[in-house]
């Protein structure tokens, strides 16, 4: 049975657009996720509190969670200062974002894509010297709300640059849910990532995952309850819901190592923490094996 690796991103990506959640709630959410069988969790983000106030307590949250030895935890960073903070806190899996769209990169990071690539080139030896790994997430890989279509060759150029500079892993982000199965095939025929991050903003998230599976991708991001989105891109709400992805994968015969019932209970916790109804279909209806 093929194993599909799911990285749970609700504690970071999922909460960055919500009203700030107290550290107690974040710790509770991460600990609950750590008990579902998920093998990877994007736990915190070391960004300036003025930029993303929802992540201002990253050091406290990271110091308080109960770390499951079977779970790999990672942190998102925007720059060298963020990397230094993450490494000092003990994180050894670091992620950094660069946008294929120059306009989105300016909105998100206040610099051009080329400037970000230069910064990443300097980050890689810093991260490696600490015995850590760096994953480069290429945002707006499937389209940009400001620029429209993004040519697959543009994404391929960025991947070639960061791989040459020594990046350990590459992920493609569907920042505002513009991907469709056709776009997934077009991009992956040009260049392949290690992991894909889809949004379900326009209802194509699961279809995109099935397409990527057919093309041999076995690592995906997902977020409990479908929480998440980009603060700097209009219409970016709606990561694929982890429980929907796991429900589908299990029915297709794939192994994720995740307990779906525990995962649904954790999505219910996420819903209580943010104080609003989440749209995940599996959260609402339960798994197909649940009888009315």
* Residues designated catalytic: 230
Question: What b/e readout covers 148-168, taking b as 16+ CB neighbours within 10 angstroms?
Answer: eebebebbbebbebbeebebb
Q: How far apart are CA 158 and CA 141, in angstroms?
A: 10
Listed in sequence order, the residues at least 6 apart from 30 whose beta carbon sits closer than 8 Å to its beta carbon are 11, 41, 43, 61, 65
φ, ψ for residue 139, nearest 5 deg:
-75, 160
Q: How far apart are CA 194 and CA 186, in angstroms?
A: 16
Q: How far apart are CA 227 and CA 92, in angstroms?
A: 25
Burial class from Cβ neighbours inside 10 Å (0-12, 13-18, 19+) for residue 258 reads buried
Q: What region does 255 belong to: left with phi over 0, alpha with psi -120 to 50, or beta?
A: beta
Q: How far apart are CA 285 and CA 288, in angstroms?
A: 8
């Amino acid at each position: 049975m093929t194993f599909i690796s799911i990285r749970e991103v609700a504690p970071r990506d999922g909460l960055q657009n919500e009203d700030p959640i107290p550290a107690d709630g974040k710790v509770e959410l991460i600990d609950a996720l750590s008990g579902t069988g998920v093998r990877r969790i994007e736990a915190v983000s070391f960004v300036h509190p003025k930029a993303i106030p929802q992540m201002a307590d990253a050091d406290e949250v990271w110091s308080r969670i109960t770390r499951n030895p079977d779970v790999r935890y990672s942190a998102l960073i925007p720059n060298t200062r963020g990397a230094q903070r993450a490494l000092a806190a003990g994180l050894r899996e670091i992620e950094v974002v660069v946008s294929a769209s120059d306009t989105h990169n300016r909105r998100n990071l206040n610099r051009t894509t080329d400037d970000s690539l230069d910064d990443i080139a300097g980050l890689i030896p810093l991260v490696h010297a600490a015995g850590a790994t760096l994953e480069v997430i290429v945002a707006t890989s499937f389209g940009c709300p400001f620029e429209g279509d993004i040519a697959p060759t543009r994404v391929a150029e960025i991947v070639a640059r960061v791989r040459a500079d020594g990046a350990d892993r590459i992920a493609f982000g569907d920042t505002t849910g513009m991907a469709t199965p056709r776009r997934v095939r077009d991009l992956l025929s040009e260049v392949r990532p290690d992991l894909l991050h889809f949004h379900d903003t326009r209802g194509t998230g699961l279809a995109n995952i099935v397409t990527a599976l057919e093309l041999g991708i076995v690592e995906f991001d997902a977020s409990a309850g479908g929480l998440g989105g980009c603060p700097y891109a209009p219409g970016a709400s709606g990561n694929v819901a982890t429980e929907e992805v796991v429900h589908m994968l299990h029915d297709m015969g794939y192994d994720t190592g995740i307990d779906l019932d525990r995962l649904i209970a954790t999505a219910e916790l996420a819903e209580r923490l943010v104080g609003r109804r989440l749209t995940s279909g599996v959260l609402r209806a339960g798994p197909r094996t649940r009888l009315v």
